């Protein structure tokens, strides 16, 4: 298999071949493959790994599974993609459905209104809306349905908007499937390819990804040992690392997403080349590369889950990650409050400044009350 760059002694150009079909990567057939998927905030790409045809055939299915399983976390901490946006995530509570948007904010899934008849042919309208425009649109319907004589403009003037934070417990689902693991294995191979280290010794991993040896899954969860030696205590990160050693005749990979999704991969079990170590890690919230160190000397392969240990360790790891994500979501909300207030305010007079300060005080009072009630 032609999986490594081949140089010409005459032209000194390098040629790269698709890891899945051996097609030469050239021109429009080259796929700029993200090492960490774009769907979860990866930035760096490689053009040395896979052709467009194979990426469409294999990669998109695996990445779609990863994106679907992690979309809550992406939206909750406001991850920004290089291409496209994460769609809103519908969350269910005991009372109502909510939407988690890709900036970390939540809103009701659908507007709701309650109309009460009062004395003197008056009505009281209470409701929940996502935007002022949505309120205007629904007021038109209510005005027509109840034959109200008041003008739409007057109705809008009488609106008293207030912001609420849900106190309901929300149902969040996370699942891990083989297609998701395949995306993570592909990321390891892409990192090898980017550093011109992908070779025919990784054929077993490639055959697994292509569905040719499903009984020999080369990955396994790693929760009993912490391989990250400089783990951040207050940041979310993604990490893909690979290491090769002829002493143990292996090329190993380690992938960690959102601080809690962690797998080890045996990419090659017959390696005889030079020792190497490569790592690509990123803070997906700010979109910047960061330094994360993975200690492969602690790497212990397990063929199966330890049913007595794994659930507890996974739960503990997820809880720690959610505490960090909760703080990141708080930071997003504070920024959103400030941005919204300044966007809607003018500062031409001293009275404008006083109104601005009142708005800030009211909004932060509501926010702080919510934090005192709801703890992660």
Lowest-pLDDT range of 7-21, 204-218, 334-348: 7-21
The helix or strand, by DSSP H or E, that contains position 178, with its residue range, turns out to be: helix 178-194
Q: What is the pLDDT of residues 260-285, one digit of tens each?
A: 999 999 999 999 999 999 999 999 99
Q: Contact at 8 Å (CB) between 40 and 79?
A: yes
pTM for the whole thing?
Answer: 0.82
Mean pLDDT of 332-338: 81
Q: What is the pLDDT of residues 115-158, one digit of tens each?
A: 777 777 677 777 777 777 888 888 888 777 777 777 777 777 77
Inform me whether the pLDDT recorded for 362 exceeds 50. yes
CA 15 to chain centre: 34
What is the pLDDT, as a whole number, of residue 251? 94
* Contacts of residue 49, Cβ cutoff 8 Å, sequence gap at least 6: 16, 18, 19, 25, 31, 33, 189, 190, 193, 194, 198
Percent of the chain beyond pLDDT 70?
82
Mean pLDDT of 157-182: 79
Kindly indicate the confidence band of residue 217, based on its pLDDT and cuts at 50, 70 and 90.
Answer: confident
What is the pLDDT, as a whole number, of residue 365? 53
Dihedral (CA of 64, 260, 197, 282) sign: positive
* Higher-confidence position of 55 and 173: 55
| Structure tokens given for 154 | 């007057």
Rounded CA separation 324/373 (Å): 18
Rounded CA separation 7/15 (Å): 7
| Structure tokens given for 310 | 């794994």
Rounded CA separation 329/332 (Å): 5
Q: Contact at 8 Å (CB) between 222 and 301?
A: no
Q: Which residue has the tokens 């005991």?
A: 94
* Contacts of residue 371, Cβ cutoff 8 Å, sequence gap at least 6: 330
Mean pLDDT of 241-253: 94
CA angle 152, 155, 157 (to 5 degrees): 115
Phi-psi region of 215 (alpha: psi -120 to 50; beta: other; left: phi over 0): alpha
Q: What is the pLDDT of residues 295-334, one digit of tens each?
A: 999 887 665 544 455 667 888 999 999 999 999 998 888 8
Kindly indicate the confidence band of residue 344, based on its pLDDT and cuts at 50, 70 and 90.
Answer: low
What is the pLDDT, as a whole number, of residue 10? 38
Distance of CA 159 to CAs 124, 167, 288, 337, 359, Å?
11, 24, 43, 20, 16
What is the pLDDT, as a whole number, of residue 73? 96
Inform me whether the pLDDT recorded for 241 exceeds 80. yes
What is the pLDDT, as a whole number, of residue 214? 67
Mean pLDDT of 96-114: 85
Rounded CA separation 374/168 (Å): 9
Mean pLDDT of the chain: 82
Rounded CA separation 342/170 (Å): 31
Q: Tell me the backbone φ, ψ of residue 142, rounded to 5 degrees.
A: -65, -40
What is the pLDDT, as a whole number, of residue 37? 95
């Amino acid at each position: 298999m032609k999986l490594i760059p081949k140089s010409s002694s005459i032209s000194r150009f390098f040629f790269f071949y698709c890891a899945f079909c051996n097609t030469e990567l050239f021109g429009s057939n080259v796929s700029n493959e993200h090492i960490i998927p774009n769907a979860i905030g990866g930035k760096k790409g490689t053009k040395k790994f896979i052709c467009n045809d194979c990426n469409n055939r294999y990669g998109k299915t695996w990445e779609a599974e990863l994106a679907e399983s992690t979309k809550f976390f992406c939206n909750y901490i406001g991850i920004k993609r290089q291409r496209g946006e994460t769609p809103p995530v519908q969350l269910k509570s005991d009372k109502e459905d909510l939407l988690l948007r890709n900036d970390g904010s939540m809103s009701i899934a659908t507007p709701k209104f309650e109309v009460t008849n009062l004395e003197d042919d008056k009505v009281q309208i209470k409701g929940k809306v996502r935007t002022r425009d949505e309120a205007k649109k629904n007021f038109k319907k209510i005005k027509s349905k109840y034959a109200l004589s008041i003008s739409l403009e007057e109705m809008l003037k009488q609106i008293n908007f207030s912001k609420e934070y849900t106190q309901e417990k929300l149902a969040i689902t996370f699942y891990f499937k083989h297609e998701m693991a395949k995306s993570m294995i592909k990321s390891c191979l892409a990192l090898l390819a980017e550093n011109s280290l992908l070779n025919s010794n990784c054929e077993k991993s490639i055959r697994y990804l292509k569905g040719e040896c499903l009984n020999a899954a080369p990955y396994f969860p790693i929760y009993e040992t912490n391989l990250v030696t400089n783990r951040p205590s207050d940041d979310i990160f993604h990490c893909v690392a690979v290491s090769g050693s002829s002493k143990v005749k292996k090329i190993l990979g380690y992938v960690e997403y959102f601080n809690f999704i962690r797998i080890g991969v045996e990419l090659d079990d017959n390696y005889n080349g030079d020792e190497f170590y490569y790592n690509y890690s990123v803070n997906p919230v700010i979109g910047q590369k960061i330094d994360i160190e993975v200690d492969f000397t602690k790497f212990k392969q397990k063929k199966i889950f330890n049913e007595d240990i794994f659930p507890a360790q996974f739960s503990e790891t997820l809880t720690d990650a959610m505490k960090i994500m909760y703080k990141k979501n708080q930071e997003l909300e504070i920024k959103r409050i400030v941005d919204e207030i300044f966007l809607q305010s003018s500062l031409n007079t001293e009275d404008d400044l006083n109104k601005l300060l009142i708005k800030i005080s009211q909004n932060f009072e509501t926010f702080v009350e919510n934090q005192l009630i709801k703890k992660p």
